Structure 1
Amino acid sequence: MTQETHLVPMQGGGHVALHRYKPAKPVGLPVVVAHGTLSNQLAVEHLGSFLAEQGFDTWLLEWGGHGHAKPAHRKQNFEYPALNDLPAAIDFIVQYTGFEQLHWTSHSGGGLLALMLLARQPQRLAQIKTLSLIGAQVTDAAPNLKEKMRVAALGTLTRLFGRTPRKLVPIGPEGEPTLLLVQWCKWNLSGRWKGTDGFDYLEALKQINVPSLVIAGGRDEVAPTKGCRRIYEALGGPKTWHECTVKQGFSKDFSHSQMIRGEAAKTEVFPLLHRFIQAA
């Protein structure tokens, strides 16, 4: 297997980073693995390595100032990387590999970015063979007063600092370098996923009709099952749902990070993705 890194510039400034794991004889279409907020390629390297071991030409995407990537500007919100970073990455991969389509696999916010792009630019559906979302939600992280206060404080401090320091939300390997989480907090406090111009993302998901896999963790406080299920039900289909809980036959109720790291993820969650992509 060979590894290579590409820094791909964006029209509005900054660049994304693409880390490629290429098997000697790749099978099928390229597979993109996108990390979530407060993260970088290190968060999803176990998943990326697993998929490459199965023979897939795997590309780990770093977006919006994470890891080796550089954001276009520090004031960008959650919608900005969806509509700028992702197109740059997708177009580079299809041009570089010669394939017209790819598989999109993602954790947390990396899935939200793909959904926002496809909702706004449905013509890009032709570039996506399958869509896999692990722990992705945007409306249900503040179900009670205590959580509402926590999410509101996170949004306020992010706006105050101009970024989200890792110590405020120590769930990933780094902080969030932009104002991105201000918008995420607003969506979860209101329970509505709407753009700055009023665009209703949840309503627009019905036009996303590529095969989709949605995976939720039974003990995921960042992406509660209810929020993941809301996205699943809004998608146009065909679609598949998995809830990683003891009740559903898994070894434990998985947390947000346990679905992408550790032996249980490798033996119980990653094979779900492999079979889904392979069957497409």
Structure 2
Amino acid sequence: MQSSSKLFPVALLSAERRGDLSEDVYRIKAANSPDASVELAVTRLGLADSLAPRGVPVILLHGSFSNRRFWYSARGVGLGAWLARAGYDVWIPEMRGHGLSPRNLDYANNRVADYARFDLPVINAFVHEQSGQVPHWVGHSLGGITLAAALGGGYLEAGQVASVALFGSQVSRRYWPLKIPPVAWGGRLLLKRFAHLSGARLKRGPEDEPIGVALEFMGWHGLFGGFREAGCNWWAGLAQVQLPLLVVAANGDQQDPPWACRALFEQCSAAARQFVCLGRAEGFSEEFDHVQMLVSKAAQLEVWPMVERWLVAHTAPSPLQQPLLAVG
């Protein structure tokens, strides 16, 4: 089968109409990471009957225990579908072993470091190739943390990304028991008995998470930990990031509290950056929580339009959109 990309092997798995939307599902096998079995599913949404060229590309990255349905339900509801109906070229990748992305051979040892270093640059390059435009990224929870790692590590650089929006993402909350070495050692030994954490059993979501991510999390928050991987300090690297950055927290979020999300925001030095806290004191209709900040009726009315305003404000006009110079 002919590849859908000139960059690396990409198979078009399906091309369907879903109501008023078109849904194309691709599977990328770039073989760029130590585990060559990795394959990534990416769903592209657009208007089915539109004759106009595709709009500005936006990549939506799900969080832990989740998949593409966080952004686009089977009934065609969600931020992804809403942006597609607004004319955007929407791309929804699913991380290794999530949704339509199969589990790779070394699934149990998958880490955010692998997603950030190997997977996100491949997805970004494919979307850029297919759309002909530099994409925006929107990440929720672990998806936002992965984006922060990719930016701090320099795996996604200026010129490759138009802007980044992080929702409910932070790495500054303290887990004091993990700083006690015997507790941390015991926790790691216990976790290593499993290949994954069950989202259904833990009542966290429809997907499992590889145990490698949990062990990596413990390392970040251990006694001598930090937001980094061997040889690369992501936290320090964030101070050099100059991309337009939107960080959104929620007053009702007990998992990733506003103060911790703001710490990540403050670590970045971009001139074009904005911090928003969703709550009544800030003029919103309710105290949003970790999921409701993007998946709720109130989010549809108040948060989704805010995302579009951000995209409009940070999208450079294409050459065809730039005004012609007067002659004479």
User: Under a length normalisation based on structure 1, what TM-score does the superposition of the two structures give?
Assistant: 0.89
For residue 40 of structure 1, what is the aligned residue in structure 2? 67
Q: 1:245 aligns with which of 279, 282, 305?
A: 279
- The match for 1:203 among 202, 226, 236 is 236
Cα displacement (A) at 1:220: 1.2
Change (3 A) 1:82 1:199: same
Which residue in 2 is equivalent to 1:162?
195
1:259 matches 2:293:
yes
Instruction: Give the total of aligned pairs.
Output: 276
Following the alignment from structure 2 to structure 1, what is the Cα–Cα distance between the partners of residues 190 and 121? 30
| AA partner of residue 266 (structure 2) | E
If you compute each CA radius of gyration, which structure gives the higher value, 1 or 2? 2
Task: Output the CA distance in 2 between the equivalents of 1:41 and 1:190.
Answer: 35
How far did 1:157 drift?
Answer: 4.8
Residues 48-197 of structure 1 correspond to what in structure 2 (within 5 A)?
Answer: 48-72=80-104, 73-74=106-107, 75-99=109-133, 101-121=134-154, 124-140=157-173, 142=175, 157-167=190-200, 169-190=202-223, 192-197=225-230
Cα pair distance change 1:85/1:274, threshold 3 Å:
same
Render the CA deviation track for 1:97-150: whole Å, top value 9, x for unaligned: 222x100011111111122112222663211101000111123063x669x9xx
Question: Equivalents in 2 of 1:156, 1:166: separation in Å?
Answer: 20
State the TM-score, normalizing by the size of structure 2: 0.77
Q: In structure 2, what is the Cα distance between the partners aligned to 1:269 and 1:169?
A: 28
**Root mean square deviation, CA, Å:** 2.5
Cα deviation, 1:86-107, whole Å, max 9, x if unaligned, reads 12211111112222x1000111
Determine whether 1:3 maps to 2:23: yes
Give the Å deviation of 1:175.
1.6
Q: State the secondary structure of the residue aligned to 1:160.
A: coil
**Which runs of 5 or more structure 1 residues have no equivalent in the other structure?**
none
Residue 291 of structure 2 aligns with an amino acid whose one-letter code is S
Q: How many Å separate the matches in 2 of 1:157 and 1:170?
A: 20
What residue is the counterpart of 2:250 in the other structure? 217
**Runs of 5+ consecutive residues of structure 2 not aligned to the other structure:** 1-20, 73-77, 315-328
- Using CA pairs below 8 Å that are at least 6 residues apart, which structure has the higher relative contact order? 1
Tell me how far 1:231 sits from its aligned partner. Answer: 0.7
Decide which structure has greater helix share.
1
Amino acid at match of 2:230: D
The answer (yes or no) to whether the contact 1:218–1:254 under 8 Å persists in 2 is yes
Instruction: Give aligned-pair identity as a percent.
Output: 27
Give the whole-Å Cα distance in 1 for the aligned partners of 2:53 and 2:260: 35
Deviation at 1:192, TM superposition (A): 4.9
Aligned to 1:270: 304
Deviation (angstroms), 1:167: 4.3
1:28-62 CA-to-partner distances (Å, cap 9, x unmatched) read 42000110111101112211111112110101111
Q: Which residue of 2 aligns with 1:29?
A: 56
